[in-house]
Amino acid sequence: MLSLSFIAPCILLALAVMAWRQPGRRPGRLPRLAEYASLAALAAAILGIVQFMAVGPVTLSALQGAVALTLKADLISVTLSLLVAFIGWVVIRYSRTYLDGETQEGRFHALMLATLAAVLVFVQSGSLGLLLLSTVLVGLGLRRLLLFYGERPEARRAATKFALVWHGADAALVLAAGLLIASYGTADLAGIAAAAAQTGLTLTASLAVALIVLAAALKTAAFPLHGWLTEVMEAPTPVSALLHAGIINSGGVLLIAFAGLVQLSAGAMAALVMIGGFTALFGAAVMLTQSAVKTSLAWSTVSQMGFLLLQCGLGLWALALLHIVAHSLYKAHAFLSSGGAVQAVAGLRRPGAIAVPNVGAVLKSFALALVLYTVIAGGFTVLSGPKTAQALALGAILIFGVAYLMAQGMADLAPTDLTRRTALTSLGAAVAYFAFQATAQLIWGPALPAAPVPGPLEWALIILAVASFGLVAFAQSLFPLWAHHPSTAGLRVHLANGFYLNALLDRAIGGFRSAKTN
């Protein structure tokens, strides 16, 4: 049986071929046809979900064995297909007016449609061969989009960084695929997971899992090779939206596709917690120092992708999938409406009241937030059953962010309205976390592995993560008190520049180019 969601990339690819033949300015009805094609792909994805609910999972295979090419339409893939198709439709619709009159308008639509088609194949891949082919094609398409204004040196530099990191991840995946086929004798993702669950991880399979984690970290712009993600603003805004709202989630999608395999390796899970947690903290700290709206959004994506890796490392797979959905929708809206944010900063909208809390107010806010968290966690435990240690830890990390918000409302000079708004917002955030967690577990939990029971290593990492986020949130709450101290001026400059890791990567790329030229 053929799933209707499999048709979505075919629709986009067919029009991409047509658009490639009309690469110039104002190519007739092509921009509108591109919008219609993306809408048709969205309709196919919606019908694919309806079909899944009616008949269950569907698989389409070509070839067999190590060279098998398989598409799957299960609960996870149809969810992601709907998300990608919706984001694609929004971005293509926006592009129709945004790119109007550009000299390569037709070529842009061709590349966008083809890249979206490759992403749709990626999220529906059921075999190693198709997964590898689609992720390589996504990288090639996005690189061409990043070079849309190829005369700009910044655009060329960003595209080069992206290509090195993305295709480096692809190389790691190729090696992992070879090791997995050698270990389990099949290229089918479901078959690999079933075999690993029965026999455990062999030495070669463990190495393959390490390579998968490396690929996921590279594709999500994890520290320290995150710099390319903050420099892609030279491309048109629809490209930034597609990258930050969709393609950057590929690492998380990859980990979810191999969730059963990755969770068998305690070392891989620990690496995800450490890499993800540090990237999240680093990205959030740098984001607060940025003055440009899009750059701030880019650093926000770095932080969010780190948090996604952290969730995967904790074994909260359903919550990680919810994170992908929520982040995609938010970031697409944020980039496509960034012009409105600029107007707000320019004074067309007045910012809300702010207040600077002292140490006492911060301590009270953290204590109150923890009490609030304990009460709400207890209530949800009674209603929906016990929570895992990992879920409680992630909730504690969230509540530190709530405490940071509450600290402003508890400052001595805080207006009554600010105190009321922060209190209501804090309560809403705490309730929403457990409500969304329960919803995600109800929808996707049965199709994903349950979080493992923590051992000594896992407990140590959980405590380290909670303590790290708590200390950073406490320091951020007190930041207004010491932000203007002479000793912190240099730190702020270094933070704003991401501690110059991008400069080191630029130097490495320059050396790579020189060696290649010679």
Token couple for 154: 């910044």
Residue with tokens 């455990």: 200
**Omega of the bond prior to 449 within 30 degrees of 0, cis?**
no
Phi and psi (nearest 5°) for 405? -70, -45
- For 20-169, strand residue ranges (E) read 58-62, 69-73
CB proximity list for 419: less than 8 A, separation 6 or greater: 409, 410
Query: Three-state SS for 9?
Result: helix
- Residue 48's pLDDT band (cuts 50, 70, 90): very high
Pick the range with the lowest mean pLDDT from 100-104, 226-230, 239-243: 226-230
Q: With beta carbons less than 8 A apart as the criterion, state whether 407 and 362 touch.
A: yes
**Which ranges of 385-455 does DSSP label H, i.e. alpha helix?**
389-409, 416-444
- This prediction has a pTM of 0.91
CB atoms within 10 A of CB 168: 15
- Residue 344's pLDDT band (cuts 50, 70, 90): very low
Q: With beta carbons less than 8 A apart as the criterion, state whether 96 and 32 touch.
A: yes
CB proximity list for 219: less than 8 A, separation 6 or greater: 135, 165, 166, 169, 248, 250, 251, 254
Q: With beta carbons less than 8 A apart as the criterion, state whether 167 and 134 touch.
A: no
Q: What percent of the chain has pLDDT over 70?
A: 89
Q: With beta carbons less than 8 A apart as the criterion, state whether 365 and 410 touch.
A: yes
- The more confident residue out of 499 and 374 is 374
Q: With beta carbons less than 8 A apart as the criterion, state whether 102 and 24 touch.
A: no
Which long-range contacts (C-beta less than 8 Å, at least 24 apart) are formed by 510-517?
A: 512/164
Token couple for 262: 């990755």
**Is residue 415 pLDDT above 80, yes or no?**
no
- Rounded CA separation 117/130 (Å): 13
Residue-averaged pLDDT of the chain: 86
- Rounded CA separation 60/72 (Å): 6
pLDDT of residue 424: 78
The closest alpha carbon to 476, from 285, 287, 276, belongs to 285
pLDDT of residue 514: 45
Q: What is the dihedral of CA 308, 58, 126, 246, to 10 degrees?
A: -40
- The more confident residue out of 154 and 34 is 34
- Rounded CA separation 35/96 (Å): 8
- Rounded CA separation 493/15 (Å): 47
- Rounded CA separation 474/472 (Å): 5
pLDDT of residue 404: 76
Q: With beta carbons less than 8 A apart as the criterion, state whether 219 and 254 touch.
A: yes
Element (H, E) at 96: helix 75-98
Token couple for 479: 């930041």
- The more confident residue out of 122 and 471 is 122
Q: With beta carbons less than 8 A apart as the criterion, state whether 12 and 114 touch.
A: yes
Which long-range contacts (C-beta less than 8 Å, at least 24 apart) are formed by 420-423?
A: 421/352
For residue range 389-403, list pLDDT tens digits in order: 899 899 888 888 778
The closest alpha carbon to 283, from 271, 295, 270, 268, belongs to 295
pLDDT of residue 54: 94
pLDDT of residue 365: 82
- Residue 94's pLDDT band (cuts 50, 70, 90): very high
Q: Directed axis angle between helix 105-123 and helix 75-98, to 10°?
A: 170
Token couple for 74: 């299960």
Token couple for 441: 């577990």
Report the alpha-carbon angle 464-465-468, nearest 5: 80
The closest alpha carbon to 143, from 131, 153, 157, belongs to 157
CB atoms within 10 A of CB 180: 28
- Rounded CA separation 214/393 (Å): 24
Residue with tokens 């509450």: 406
- Residue 432's pLDDT band (cuts 50, 70, 90): confident
